Structure 1
Amino acid sequence: MAPRRSRYIVLAFLAIFLITFLSHYRDKWKHVAINDFAATGSILQQELDSLSADIPGNRTPPDSNTKYPHGKPIPNHEYTRMIVVPKKKAEDTTWLDTELPDTPKAVYVVDDWWAPLRPPKNKGNEAMVYLSYIIDFYDKLPDISVFIHAHRSAWHNNDLLDADTAMMIKHLSSARVIREGYMNLRCQWYPGCPGWLHLDAQKENEEKKEEVLVKGAWMELFPHDPMPPVLGQPCCSQFALSRDRIREVPLKEYVRLRKWILNTKLRNSMSGRIFEYLWQYLWTGSATICPSMHVCYCDGYGACFKNETKFQEWFEMRYYIRQDEWRLLGWELQEATFADLISKGRRKEAALVERGSEEQMKALKGKIDERWIVLDSWRGGALEYGKDPQVRARLAGREWREGDGY
């Protein structure tokens, strides 16, 4: 899917939802100023800020992020894969077969007792399904297992790859997964890096309510391991694992962890969110795994910019484009609100609606489109540059040997 087409689809769905919502609750809704829409992208601002945090002192150094041995990829080898997906009956996952027809899937339906694959209980969000898959397939694992959510597009997917799970999997480097053993599919640091859950937290943080619970959970889950001061990795429980790395942990340990989810009195969402920041510890032995964002994109997906500055420029421009897209969406929603009030004869209320002029909207659309063309060009160049395995090795800080054709 083309980047600009993808973003317009996302914005269209959001606009339809908000227009429907506002229409339904019109009498209870107070008019929102256009500037409020422009300020909505707090996540985008946090991600922009995280670029400045992605410095050597905060990064996980290459080849030092695991207590387990690194794998040795075989050049040009066709590794087998399995995509692991938790879903509800009502969720549409047909995109998996449409976009990735040749990759086997293990789709666990959490609310259908008669489904071929199902967890013992719908509890703990995706953590229950991920552990159930490993338990069920421990003796017949593919080379690589890719653990993802059921939705194709999400804010927590990689922006450089259109926030599209299908595109991420298509570009995913099997060699990096084999080499690293455990690879978080999300490259951007926020939320999660360079440190996220502080185990000494006393007060609940609205953004990470699980933080005050993780200390107690740690003592139950890893009673013999020293408690780290902080846990961190990019959110949001989507990752790839090599078969060897999965089997570094005994089967009985996965059974024990799943039993904890089944028995814990923590509510469903909290037990799942705690595991979101424990996976890296389980499969690397490190409490914090925050690789360079550029290295993640380059070595993990083949999107390699000439240097760190060019990489950051892509995300900075994308941030300002998204700001303008929020502003444009705000205007479009206000126009819909105005038209709805006029159609109901409520002209006094309609007069209070802050609207952008047709000329302003047209100019803003043109500005957005022009800059997306630039971003598309930059990304295309990065993907072309990243086809060279020597480039990927250099940017990842790996020693290059002639013949390492991966």
Structure 2
Amino acid sequence: MISKKRQIKIWALAAVLLSLIYLLTHRVCPAVKYHTYPRPHPVLLGNTTHSSPAQTNLTTNLVVASTAKDDISWTDNLYNDIPNLTILRYVSDSRTSRFHPPVAKGREALMYFTYLHDFYDSLPDVSVFIHAEETPWHLEGTLLQNISFALAQLDLTRVVEERGYFNLRVTWRAACPAWIDTRKTFENWEKQEEPYMPEAWEANFDDPVPDILAGPCCSQFAVSRAAIQRRPREQYKRSIKWLVETSWSDHIVGRVWEHMWPWLFKEEAKDCAPEKESLCQMYGICFENARQMEAYKELWEERERLKEDMSFLRASWAPGRAAEARKKMNKVGDEIERQLSEAWKRGRASKAKAVVER
């Protein structure tokens, strides 16, 4: 006969097991299921690349700023989308890498400048500078927050013939017409890098410090050979020396250089081209008007909110809500794809018309 004490243990164990089974079947499994969501828009990612005859003769270097642990295998697909492409991976923390900065500091800035200095006399038509992540947070929803998609659409001819320097991010919102006030001090700054800007500017340029700097973030851009060579090679050596010798944190160094690239390549303190026009001209994503573009952005923001409802912790706590979020996600995704496909087709039609009219 089982003792009363042993019976209590058995019932306690059974209660624990039943609780675990309940949590597994009603919380964990649904959370795993609803936490996952489809990578947006395989149709767009697979079928909106270009093959522009006007760009087949252009040569392009893709300069990737990375660390040794980064996986940049996704860049292999770009060979199918960009004619005459060469990929140069710079690794900040590996002295054995073929391409690396002189020291492991300065974030992407030192890697970029190392390339600009070393390749100065053998530059391609276009150099594109990016980070190692394919889906960086700072790339817009109008570009699917996907650098592969953005680069497949980018009009390299316009980079060479019109822009010279082009920030891959075109959304500036509050960053224009005034973002950084270089007159701010350590006593009254609003953005963390503001009080550092005058010293950084004077260390890298002989030009007077502008009062205001403005433009999109985040140190990913395309530059023509001519724009790079407007500056003497010594300019890039000077910036390398400063980046190597500065005692500032990598964070601050990266932030100050985000605001100085437009001046380096085109001597403009403000890089505030209208977003809608830049999307259409440079990426062939042509919304009919600003209202339509903003409506698309609202859809993308709704998608991001739904992703939060589908996080593992929230899905574990409220699987029903996560299931509903997933249903809405699918509908929102379909509408995003429809609207962006229309904008992309409008851009292709506009480009084809312009070619005929020439």
Give TM-score scaled by structure 2 length.
0.79
- Whether 2:53 is the aligned partner of 1:90: answer no
Tell me which residue corresponds to 2:314: 334
Deviations 1:17-74 (A, max 9, x none): xxxxxxxxxxxxxxxxxxxxxxxxxxxxxxxxxxxxxxxxxxxxxxxxxxxxxxxxx9
- Whole-angstrom distance in 2 between the partners of 1:128 and 1:385: 39
Larger Rg: 2
- Residue 270 of structure 1: how far off its partner (Å): 1.2
Q: Which amino acid aligns with 1:198?
A: D
* Separation in structure 2 between the aligned mates of residue 392 and residue 324 of structure 1, nearest angstrom: 39
The one-letter code sitting in structure 1 at the alignment partner of 2:286 is C
Task: Kindly indicate which of the two structures has a greater share of residues assigned to helix.
Answer: 2
Q: Does the 8 A contact of 1:385 with 1:391 survive in 2?
A: no
In the alignment, is the contact (CA less than 8 A) between 1:158 and 1:168 conserved in 2? no
- Is the 2:150–2:283 contact (alpha carbons within 8 Å) kept by the matching residues of 1? yes
2:217 corresponds to 1:235:
yes
Q: Choose which of 47, 53, 58 in structure 2 pairs with 1:79.
A: 58
Q: Of residues 159, 163, 174 in structure 2, which corresponds to 1:180?
A: 163
Check the 8 A contact 1:305/1:382 in 2, yes or no: yes
User: Matches of 1:153 and 1:85 in 2, distance apart?
Assistant: 14
Q: How does 1:228-307 map to 2 (within 5 A)?
A: 228-307=210-289
1:390 shift after superposition:
5.1
What residue is the counterpart of 1:193 in the other structure? 176
> Higher mean Cα deviation, 234-243 or 267-276?
267-276
Q: Contact 1:119–1:132 at 8 Å: present in 2 too?
A: yes
**In the alignment, is residue 371 of structure 1 matched against residue 326 of structure 2?**
no
Structure 1 equivalent of residue 205 of structure 2? 222
1: CA distance, partners of 2:39 / 2:186: 40
Aligned-CA RMSD value: 2.7
CA deviations 1:230-288 (Å, max 9, x no partner) are 11111110000011111111111111111111122212221122111100011111111
Q: Paired residue for 1:356, among 293, 298, 318?
A: 318
Per-residue Cα deviation, 1:73-106 (whole angstroms, up to 9, x for no partner)? x955531101001211111111112443662111
Task: Give the Cα separation in 2 of the matches to 1:298 and 1:204.
Answer: 42
Q: What secondary structure does 1:146 align onto?
A: strand
SS at match of 2:139: coil
**Taking structure 1 as reference, are residues 77 and 364 closer, same or farther at Cα in structure 2, changes over 3 Å only?**
closer
Partner of 2:112: 130
Say if 1:386 and 1:392, in contact at 8 Å, map to a contact too: no
3-state secondary structure, aligned to 2:333: helix
Residues in 2 aligned to 1:313 and 1:334: alpha-carbon distance in whole angstroms: 27
Q: Which SS does the other structure have where 2:103 is aligned?
A: coil
Greater relative contact order, per chain length (Cα 8 Å cut-off, separation 6+): 1
CA distance in 2, matches of 1:392, 1:202: 52
Q: Does the CA-based 8 Å contact 1:304-1:392 persist in structure 2?
A: no
Note the residue ranges of structure 2 that are not aligned, 5 or more in a row: 1-36, 43-52
Contact 2:309 2:322 in 1 (8 A): no
Cα deviation per residue 1:271-326 (whole Å; 9 max; x = unaligned)? 12211110001111111101111112111111101222211211122223322332
The one-character-per-residue Cα deviations of 1:200-241 (angstroms, maximum 9, x if unpaired) are: 122478984212211222222224x22211111111100000
Aligned-partner Cα distance in 2 for 1:379–1:170: 15
Corresponding residue for residue 139 of structure 1? 121
Per-residue deviation at 1:328? 3.5
TM-score by length of 1: 0.70
Alpha-carbon spacing, 1:207–1:324, altered in 2? closer, same or farther (3 Å): farther
Structure-1 separation of matches of 2:295 and 2:353: 19
Which range is displaced more, 305-314 or 373-382?
Answer: 305-314
What residue ranges of structure 1 are gaps of 5+ in the alignment? 10-73, 337-354, 394-399
CA shift, 1:117, in A, is 1.2
> Does the CA-based 8 Å contact 1:95-1:152 persist in structure 2?
yes
Query: How many residues of Structure 1 are paired with residues of Structure 2 in the alignment?
Result: 309
Q: Which amino acid aligns with 2:105?
A: K
